[in-house]
């Protein structure tokens, strides 16, 4: 089982990328969320998830953080949700936003995602509520400070940043090991500094 890989991006086609693993010459095709921000020639390190379909066989998915992979796996456990829909959710919502939407029964936030209507949003909330609630109690950086990350996300949205930009900023904040996740102003400054560099 492939749990992670590191290499150079050789091609990009929407959410599909090809990564050549360093010093092996082996190239893997993966589907990735928008937060990865793939570009040809970029060095990348991803945690991965292998999904098996009876019709299509194995498919590999890559994520920047274990939190994203964990959410992807949890969403897939919902009846009627396949990998394409699960990836669409992570394209639009960070793991923290998704946890918040499910635990607060925010059907509207989920139904804004392409391919998810009101009934499907309600189904996702009902089936995943107890599962994602456990994540809010996990120690560590990846889900620590989730409340402030959601507040930062909302603030960036009010400043008219796009959803892909916000998802990328949230992924960047989760990677930081030296910030105080309990302080909103610190997180907000780091998010704005990251987005300024992307311009």
Q: What is the DSSP code (8-state) at residue 9?
A: E
Q: How buried is 122 (Cβ within 10 angstroms: 0-12 exposed, 13-18 middle, 19+ buried)?
A: middle
Instruction: Return the sign of the alpha-carbon dihedral for residues 90, 141, 193, 30.
Output: negative
What is the structure's pLDDT at 22? 80
Domain-by-domain residue ranges, the chain?
4-63, 67-135, 146-193
What is the structure's pLDDT at 182? 56
Tens-binned pLDDT, residue by residue, of the chain (199 aa): 688 999 999 999 888 999 999 888 899 999 998 878 778 888 999 999 999 888 878 899 999 888 889 889 999 999 889 999 999 998 888 888 888 888 888 888 899 888 899 999 999 999 988 887 666 554 444 554 556 777 787 788 888 888 778 878 877 887 765 555 557 788 888 889 988 887 5
State the alpha helices, DSSP H only, in the chain: 66-76, 83-92, 95-103, 107-111, 118-135, 146-158, 163-175, 184-198
CATH class of 4-63: mainly beta
Q: How buried is 106 (Cβ within 10 angstroms: 0-12 exposed, 13-18 middle, 19+ buried)?
A: middle
Contacts of residue 187, defined as CB under 8 A and 6 or more positions apart, other chains included, come to: 145, 148, 149, 152, 173, 179, 181
Q: What are phi and psi of 191, to 5 degrees?
A: -65, -45
What is the structure's pLDDT at 138? 46
Q: Which helix (H) or strand (E) holds 19?
A: strand 16-21
What is the structure's pLDDT at 123? 92
What is the structure's pLDDT at 124? 92
CATH class of 67-135: mainly alpha
What is the structure's pLDDT at 199? 57
């Amino acid at each position: 089982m492939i749990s992670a890989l590191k290499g150079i991006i050789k091609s990009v086609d929407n959410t599909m990328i090809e990564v050549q693993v360093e010093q092996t010459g082996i190239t893997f095709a993966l589907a990735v969320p928008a937060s990865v921000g793939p570009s040809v020639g970029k060095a990348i390190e991803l945690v991965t998830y292998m999904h098996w379909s009876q019709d299509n066989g194995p498919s590999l998915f890559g994520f920047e953080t274990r939190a994203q992979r964990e959410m992807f796996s949890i969403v897939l456990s919902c009846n009627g949700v396949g990998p394409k829909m699960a990836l669409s959710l992570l394209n639009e919502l960070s793991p923290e936003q998704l946890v918040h939407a499910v635990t607060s029964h925010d059907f509207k936030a989920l139904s804004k995602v392409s391919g998810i209507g009101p009934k499907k949003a309600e189904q996702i909330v009902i089936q995943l509520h107890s599962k994602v609630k456990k994540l809010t109690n996990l120690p560590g950086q990846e889900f620590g400070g989730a409340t402030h990350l959601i507040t930062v996300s909302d603030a960036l949205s009010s400043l008219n940043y796009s959803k892909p930009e916000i998802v990328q900023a949230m992924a960047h904040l989760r990677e930081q090991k030296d910030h105080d996740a309990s302080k909103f102003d610190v997180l907000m400054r780091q998010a704005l500094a990251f987005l300024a560099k992307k311009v």
